[in-house]
């Protein structure tokens, strides 16, 4: 069932993003008087199509990993004299720029609309209250203490751990100090704390912005009660069920869920005697954790079970809601922040500050799409918005075969007064295809490594 949900979720996500992207090209092309021959979502043989009154074929193709808008163009096929005025290549350079740029801009617009809807409907999050502070960590040396709520990072107000992580990820590679503002309670004035860092998060895979600073978010006590058990894994094979609470392992009482997790992680392949509470009765079960090897080469135990969620105290809950007008400003700001974050991540990956293993391909996208869909509509829409921004940014990179590569050629044409030569464009096309193929293979490789 999980695989089917992942596949359906990724089809919905990619289908929506691709449709918006290609509709941006289509809409502006029609406004510029260009005849559109085909609007296709997906590649390959169409599995459904229809032709509208303007002669445009709308199609859904079998391979849902992209799409295209095919326009009348003399460079691709002969064009009758009476239709030359509708050919893409006969339009002014600024009209061609507008048509090409419209796809990525449509994805930015989709992200703004998605964030606006979330901010108007309201989102519930938990207050960024510090739980534990690691001894001799940057957080402890700065004076930050357990129980304080972080209200600003690097001068920017924050209201959730997501806000904090976004601002910290943007500081990858920083050396010096990170500025935090925190307070003990809402009546107390916030104080500034300066956390010393050196090459912050450089080449961490994956980056751990909070743990690196020695900060553990506060959370309510989680008893070692199972919320879900995966069929075929060690927990299921041992007879554990959702709702079971692990009381002791090998005769040693289990304090909470993390205590149980730590025991499992350090016991791959070992037989564990469990005392379990189920429906008021106590059972004795035996479980042998499976073994999973991390990228660092360290092996950890794995049983295929998740914790049962608990209710957060009301004083730790925060609702973020804005009016329609204010929400628009917040949505534009969030889209801008995520765009800059994506551009910064690409730059830092190129200079080696971020490991290329953070690249994600269709498998990871499917997993995340499925997970967010199961988590709830709010998480799914947030993921949709972020993926839309990523698609827009990647398409605007100045790589031939992408929209950004075409825009580069057209801007050069606008400056020089004549098009880039066919020979140069053909050479750029080969380079662009090689780059894109390399990136896709790398992303697929890292997807498979994560899956393994």
Residue 188 has pLDDT above 70, yes or no: yes
- The burial of 314, by beta-carbon neighbours within 10 Å (0-12 exposed, 13-18 middle, 19 or more buried), is given as exposed
Domains of the chain are 92-122+323-452 (no CATH), 125-219+311-320 (2.30.42.10), 226-308 (2.30.42.10)
Question: What are the pLDDT digits (tens) for 234-261?
Answer: 999 999 999 999 999 999 999 888 899 9
CA angle (200 as vertex; 142, 345 as ends), nearest 5: 135
Q: Is the pLDDT of residue 321 over 70?
A: yes
Cβ contacts of 101 within 8 Å, gap of 6 or more:
403, 407
Tell me how far apart the alpha carbons of residues 276 and 280 are, in angstroms, rounded to a whole number.
10
* 140-155 pLDDT tens trace: 999 999 999 999 999 9
Q: For residue 1, what pLDDT band results from cuts at 50, 70 and 90?
A: very low
Active site residue 22: yes
Residues 57 and 18: their CA atoms lie apart, in Å, by 16
The pLDDT of 299-307, averaged and rounded, is 87
Q: Which of 22, 57, 149, 413 is catalytic?
A: 22
Residue-averaged pLDDT of the chain: 88
Find out whether 25 and 102 touch, Cβ atoms under 8 Å: yes
418 by Cβ neighbours in 10 Å (0-12 / 13-18 / 19+) ranks as exposed
pTM attached to this predicted model: 0.79
């Amino acid at each position: 069932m999980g695989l089917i949900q992942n596949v359906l979720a990724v089809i919905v996500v990619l289908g929506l993003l691709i449709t918006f992207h290609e509709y941006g090209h289509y809409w502006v092309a029609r406004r510029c008087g260009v005849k559109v021959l085909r609007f296709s979502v997906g590649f390959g043989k169409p599995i459904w199509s229809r032709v509208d009154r303007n002669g445009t074929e709308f199609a859904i193709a079998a391979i849902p990993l992209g799409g295209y808008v095919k326009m009348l163009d003399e460079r691709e096929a002969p064009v009758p004299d009476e239709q030359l005025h509708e050919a893409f290549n006969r339009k002014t350079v600024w009209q061609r720029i507008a048509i090409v740029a419209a796809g990525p801009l449509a994805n930015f617009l989709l992200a703004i609309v998605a964030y606006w809807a979330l901010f108007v409907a309201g989102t519930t999050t938990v207050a960024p209250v510090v739980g534990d502070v690691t001894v001799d960590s940057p957080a402890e040396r700065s004076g930050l203490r357990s129980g304080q709520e972080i209200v600003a990072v690097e001068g920017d107000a924050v209201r959730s751990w997501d806000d904090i992580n976004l601002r910290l990820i943007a500081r990858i590679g920083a050396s010096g100090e990170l500025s935090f503002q925190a307070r003990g309670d809402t009546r107390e004035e916030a104080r500034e704390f300066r956390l010393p860092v050196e090459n912050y998060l450089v080449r961490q895979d994956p980056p751990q912005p909070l743990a690196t600073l020695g900060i553990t978010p506060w959370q309510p006590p989680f008893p070692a009660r199972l919320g879900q058990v995966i069929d075929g894994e060690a927990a299921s094979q041992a007879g554990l069920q959702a709702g079971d609470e692990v009381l002791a392992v090998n005769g040693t009482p289990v304090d909470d869920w993390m205590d149980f997790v730590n025991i499992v992680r350090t016991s791959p392949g070992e037989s564990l005697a469990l005392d379990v509470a189920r429906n008021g009765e106590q059972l004795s079960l035996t479980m042998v954790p499976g073994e999973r090897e991390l990228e660092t080469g360290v092996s950890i135990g794995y049983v295929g079970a998740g914790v049962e969620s608990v209710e957060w105290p009301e004083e730790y809950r925060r609702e973020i809601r804005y009016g329609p007008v204010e929400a628009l400003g917040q949505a534009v700001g969030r889209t801008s922040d995520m765009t800059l974050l994506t551009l910064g991540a690409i730059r830092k990956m190129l200079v080696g500050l971020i490991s290329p293993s953070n690249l994600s391909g269709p498998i990871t996208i499917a997993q995340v799409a499925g997970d967010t869909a199961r988590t709830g509509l709010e998480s799914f829409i947030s993921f949709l918005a972020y993926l839309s921004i990523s698609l827009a940014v990647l398409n605007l990179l100045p790589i031939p075969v992408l929209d950004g590569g075409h825009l580069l050629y057209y801007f050069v044409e606008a400056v020089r007064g004549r098009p880039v030569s066919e020979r140069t464009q053909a050479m750029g096309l080969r380079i662009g295809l090689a780059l894109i193929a390399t990136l896709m293979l790398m992303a697929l490789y890292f997807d498979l490594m994560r899956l393994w």
